[in-house]
Chain A
Amino acid sequence: MTLIETRPEAPQDEVPPLYANRVKVYPKAVGGPFRWLKWAVLSLCLAVYYLAPWLRWDRGPGHPDQALLIDMPARRAYFLWIEIWPQEVYYLTGLLILGAIGLFLVTSLLGRVWCGYACPQTVWTDLFMWVERLIEGDRNARIRLDKEPLTAGKLGRKALKHALWLAIAALTGGAWVMYFNDAPTLARDLVALDVSTGVLFFAGLFTFSTYLLAGWAREQVCTYMCPWPRFQAAMFDRDTLIVTYEAWRGEPRGKHRKDAAAQSLGDCVDCGQCHQVCPTGIDIRDGQQLECIGCALCIDACNAVMKKVGLPPNLIAYDTTANQEARARGGAVQWRPVRPRTMIYAALLLIVGAVMLVALGLRSTLDINILRDRNPLFVTLSDGSIRNGYTIKILNKARAERSFTLTAQGLPAGEMQVAGREGWGGPAQLTVKPDTVGTFRVFLRAPRASLKGDSLPIGFALQETATGETAQHASVFVGPDR
């Protein structure tokens, strides 16, 4: 007897196949305010991406003069006047967190504007589609070209298109590595291919991935690869702006004839333009869906047609679900940007931003690390006194050589010696080169009687002789078991 119920096999024609081949999307060109907005955002994003590594910032001789640079071999990151060391990578983390919260806030307010305007996938796919339109023609011309058998002309067009795509991809890959190396030097070296394997690998990786994702994968990335569309359900609520089709007004759809009034049709003339211009190839009249990236090209297309046929515009529009229901009822519409969700995101953004700014403001250019010798823990000297060894690391984050006085505190009758120097005594003078970690080996010695137990907490204090800036570090002085 089985405990598991078996489902009877479904009849063949009712169950759809689980796998669907990709349907190639041929977006049609469209003009309008949202198209202009997309071009503007695209231009801004690409300008920043390609040109930012070329900005210069003078930091003095011996230091890189690039404004934005992550110098991996030297373990430093530069952003204008800010220089961070590897242990301060949390500044970058903070930026990412700010970016994430900002994205949540913008999405809860305005819907998928990231997806539709600013996402790198959208930006580069848009650019590649523009190149394709330039070479192969608009939608109908491209469909015809793909159906044609392979001729010299077709091969030539396709080759030119892919060549241009590869060129753009190569510039993209090159720009990426310029954030990690000096841009003018690297540009010369890349052209001569006189670069390290690492640089070549990453430039090649980003070239290849740009070409693949923007040229071949396109909307498949948004539909299948990217997790962002799938979080949208968590970001949206009834007051989030989405690209929406006013079905209550547009349905029933149908081609309007001259005596339209007698037809009792909705405003939608079923021209199909919204479907043809969509870069992900969906029909917005099916309702809000995962594939809609909110680029609003369908709005531009529909409004153009509506203007021509003399029907009211914004049949497809940016609107909220709540407002759509209100409009359908004929009630008052109100956009509520201020609501608990958006306020919480805004508050988080302000808090994290404030924390980052304060952390940046309080950043000190001096730090001290003490590594106590662990092998051996202590040394007994001839006269019975106990000696401990310490490795002192002084982090000089300023770009000038600095001198310090090191003092040990809390060790009764204690004396200090810097390894390599003669004599025991009090505070030691140490000098550290600019922008480096100075390492010094220091011994502390004390009579056996100074230790009551087998260890004593002590502290090291570092003071800069010129400015008086201090840094402290606690440590311990260890002796034999009693």
Chain B
Amino acid sequence: MPTKIEKDSVTGTQTTGHDWDGVKELNTPLPTWWIYVFYATIVWSAGYVIVYPAIPWFTGHTSGISGYTARGEVGKDVAAARAAQGQWRAKIEQSSLEEIAKNPDLRSFALAGGRAAFADNCAPCHGTGGAGGKGYPNLNDDDWLWGGSLKEINTTLQHGVRADHAKTRTSEMPRFGVDGMLKREQIDDVAEYVLSLSGKSGDKAAAERGQPLYADNCVACHGEKGEGNRELGAPRLDDQIWLYGGDKGSVAQTIHAARGGVMPAWGGRLDDVTLKQLSVYVHSLGGGQ
């Protein structure tokens, strides 16, 4: 209870009337301009509650007479972006991959769209810079399992690799160790021979022993000199790029249990225009052929 309201001599303001151990508090009135701004905010909020979604209700919320939703705004933005891109997307749809790559304007549009789609869809496996990792091919280099031309890249994107698609790219490497086709020492020798194909010096005697085994088991897919086969997705064994590791242990493991990477089929998940953009983008990363 305020007991004694006094008037402060210095400021001319009244005190609140309370006294705490001799300490008193000035009851300075709120500034008039502040009070009017406060009233204005009340009026504004009344209007706001009527116009915009405001009050949580039992089965949702009040929607406001304007029908505004943030989600609706996003939808409008996306539709506007699509409309703005409309003529370019139409051109991409009508042009072939080579035409897109040659035309500077189409190319830059495709690269921009491809970059965005890559970050959303491809980066989880192939890396944000396309460098991949163990088991995920590096899209920047010039080594391709299934071909690096625009058409081949597009086909790989559409059909996937060992994916759930009728025309998916597929091949099966025999599991020489697991299925008992080769013994442990034989696998070691073949691994030494394989490494010697790319010029990695090792145990020469073992490589010599491995050579006839290689000729019997591996040449059919990987080629006589290890040049690989793109129709089967059989990698080149004579280059410096190793998807699963180029040390003896990794190569031996590959021979022992085989490898078979899986890539989703994007046809049907992404539209054709986006896939064309992605093809042009991946082709432009530096290793396109």
Contact = CB atoms under 8 A, between A and B. Distances in A.
Contacts of A387: 140-141, 286
B128 interface: yes
A18 B10 CA distance: 7
A195 interface: no
Nearest to B242: A380
A376 B143 contact: no
B47 interface: no
Contacts of A383: 239-240
Interface string B215-251: 0000000000000000000001001110000000000
A3 B236 CA distance: 88
B9 A15 contact: yes
B138 interface: yes
Q: Is the interface of A mostly helix, strand, loop or mixed?
A: loop
Contacts of B128: 375
Contacts of A375: 127-129, 131
A13 to B, nearest CB: 9
Interface string B31-45: 000000000000000
B140 A379 contact: yes
Given A382-B141, A382-B143, A384-B240, A376 B130 contact: yes
Contact of B286 (A10, A17, A374, A443): A443
A25 to B, nearest CB: 23
A19 B236 CA distance: 89
B211 interface: no
Contact of B131 (A15, A379, A384): A379
A419 interface: yes
Interface string B62-82: 000000000000000000000
Interface residues of A, number: 23
B196 interface: no
Nearest to A15: B10
A374 B140 CA distance: 13
Contacts of B141: 379-382, 387
B9 A10 contact: yes
Nearest to B240: A384
Contacts of B241: 380-382
Contact of B138 (A19, A373, A379, A419): A379
A383 to B, nearest CB: 7
B89 interface: no
Contacts of B284: 419-420
B129 A376 contact: yes
B142 interface: yes
A382 B140 contact: no
Contacts of A373: 129
B142 A381 contact: yes
B159 interface: no
Interface in B1-29: 9-12
Interface string A1-39: 000000001111001011100000000000000000000
Contacts of B107: 420
Interface in A378-418: 379-384, 387, 389
Contact of A380 (B10, B12, B236, B240): B240
Contacts of B143: 381-382
Nearest to A2: B22
A12 B239 contact: no
A375 B10 CA distance: 69
A148 to B, nearest CB: 26
B19 to A, nearest CB: 15
Interface string B120-145: 00000001111100000010111100
B140 A376 contact: yes
A419 B138 CA distance: 18
A382 B129 contact: no
Contacts of B130: 376
Contacts of A374: 129
A387 B130 CA distance: 14
Interface string A258-301: 00000000000000000000000000000000000000000000
B102 to A, nearest CB: 9
Of listed A12, A376, A419, residue having the most chain B CB within 10 A: A376
Nearest to B199: A384
9 contacts: A12-B9, A17-B11, A373-B129, A375-B128, A376-B138, A382-B241, A419-B286, A420-B107, A443-B286
Given A12-B9, A380-B240, A443-B286, 17 more contacts: A17-B11, A18-B10, A18-B11, A19-B12, A375-B127, A376-B127, A376-B138, A379-B131, A379-B286, A379-B287, A380-B241, A381-B240, A381-B287, A382-B241, A384-B239, A389-B140, A420-B284
Interface of B: 9-12, 107, 127-131, 138, 140-143, 236, 239-241, 284, 286-287
Closest 9 CB pairs of A and B: A375-B129, A376-B131, A384-B240, A382-B239, A379-B140, A12-B9, A376-B129, A382-B143, A379-B141
